[in-house]
Amino acid sequence: MTAHLDRVKCHFFRTLLNLVFLPAPKINQSHETYRFIEEQFLSKRRENDLLVLELPESISKVNFLVSLEKKHKFLFHGSNQAEIELLNPVSQENYRGEKITGVFASGDPIWAMFFAILDREGYHGSLRNGSFILSYAGGCHERYYFFSINEAMVANHPWKTGMVYITPRDSFTQTNTGMMRFDEWASEKPVVPIAKIDISPSDFPFLNRVSAHNERESIYLTWLLYKRRLRKAAKTGKL
């Protein structure tokens, strides 16, 4: 009975998420990528020695990061700062808008890529985005996304090269749980990243799927209008 109820709930959430958000892109996870992970990442990582990753041209950065997430339990933190050796807790808001002091990361490297390339210097207004994960034991495991920036910032093309830091999960806890949840984690303690990889705007698979919202509207309206705005922008050539 419980399994049947879980399937019904999963179907409902899947329908809802597909209506308003974007499903995860299809990523080609090749044997070459997994071999690189084993030989050039796992075998070379050292405790307290930050590994700077450089990929062969045949492996895309999103391919590498998604493949790494599929096989190994790391977290990912995106930043404009390229020389971080220690991630320190700072006061910020979690997905519910609650103030907490911590280091934020995600089990979703694509979400971290967004924070790596968004130029936060000079950015004004709200930033609305998320990576939803839909899963339950023995059932579905899917991801959905939305990305929206303040409409006044769109003309500034607020993108730059940044960095995704790969971290262990040891000191992190999930900020929310359930069948449908944000893939958000937080650590109250400083975190030493184990590796980093530079990310340019062209590496981000949803660069042309970032919409613009009005500051006066609610987050729920931003969600409801997200796909509509993407379609309108595509028709007018603004994506």
Copy the structure tokens of residue 6: 């879980």
Is the pLDDT score of 88 beyond 70?
yes
Q: Which residues are CB-contacts of 164 (< 8 A; sequence separation ≥ 6)?
A: 65, 76, 77, 78, 109, 112, 113, 116, 196, 197, 199
- Tell me the pairing of strands 162-167 and 51-52: unpaired
The reported pLDDT for the residue numbered 213 is 96
pLDDT at 183: 92
Q: What is the mean pLDDT of residues 17-31?
A: 91
The average pLDDT across 40-48 equals 79
Tokens 């890529």 -> residue? 113
Q: Is 184 helix (H, G, I), strand (E, B) or coil?
A: coil
The range of the structural domain enclosing residue 149 comes to 2-236
77, two tokens: 């933190």
Tokens of 198: 């530079």
Compute the mean pLDDT over every residue in the chain, rounded to the nearest whole number: 91
> Over 60: is that where the pLDDT of 1 sits?
no
Is pLDDT of 237 > 70?
no
Stated length of the chain: 239
Residues 6+ apart with CB under 8 A from 4: none
Mean pLDDT of 19-38: 91
Q: What's the CA gap between 65 and 67, in Å, rounded?
A: 5
Task: Give this prediction's pTM.
Answer: 0.92
Can you list the alpha helix ranges (DSSP code H) found in the chain?
A: 2-20, 31-36, 61-71, 109-117, 219-236
CA-to-CA separations, 137 to 75, 81, 152, in angstroms, rounded? 21, 37, 43
For residue 87, the 8-state DSSP code is B
Please name the residues in contact with 93: beta carbons below 8 A apart, sequence gap of 6 or more.
99, 100
Domain count of the fold of the chain: 1
